[in-house]
Amino acid sequence: MIGRLNHVAIAVGNVAQASRIYKESLGAEVSPPSDQPDHGVRVVFVTLDNTKIELLEPLGAASPLANFLAKNPSGGVHHVCYEVDDILAARDHLKARGDRVLGDGEPKIGAHGKQVLFLHPKDFCGTLIELEEK
């Protein structure tokens, strides 16, 4: 069901500072920041040959990412994103198996302008998983 790895998301306190680290220290290509108010985050993408790194900063204290950073003040890996051909078919398959889809179970538009869903980390080896429709 899952396709290629789309990105690995890293929670950071400040995407501008994190972007500089990736640009200056690692010589990476970094996108401009983009606010995603529906998800409560500001994102920057680091482009690699085989995938992307998504740097995430919370948009205010109400952001779900703020809780993650409160527990992990230095930041860290927040989630991994896999591509799927049909997000509704993937959701229905997972729910039929008893796996938990976060939120109301309906896809939202993600940072790439495509439909996304998040899966409960307790059902997936302690890892928050994002599914993104190709």
CA distance 35 to 70: 20
Say if CB 75 and CB 123 are below 8 A apart: no
Return the residue matching tokens 């205010």.
60
Average pLDDT rounded to a whole number, residues 110-130? 96
Q: Which domain holds residue 28?
A: 5-133
Q: How many domains does the chain have?
A: 1
Q: From residue 59, how far is each of 15, 34, 63, 67, 85 by CA, in Å?
A: 11, 11, 6, 12, 30
Average pLDDT rounded to a whole number, residues 102-128? 96
Say if CB 132 and CB 83 are below 8 A apart: yes
Average pLDDT rounded to a whole number, residues 110-124? 96
Convert the pLDDT of each residue in 3-43 to its tens digit: 999 999 999 999 999 999 999 999 999 999 999 998 999 99
Q: Assess whether 130 carries a catalytic annotation.
A: yes
For residue 134, what pLDDT is reported? 95
CA 40 remoteness from chain centre? 12
List the CATH number of the domain containing 49. 3.10.180.10
Q: What's phi and psi for 130, nearest 5 deg? A: -105, 135
DSSP symbol at 101: B
The mean predicted confidence, pLDDT, of the chain is: 96
In 3-state terms, what secondary structure has residue 55? strand
Q: Which of 54, 57, 83, 130 is catalytic?
A: 130
The model carries a pTM of: 0.94
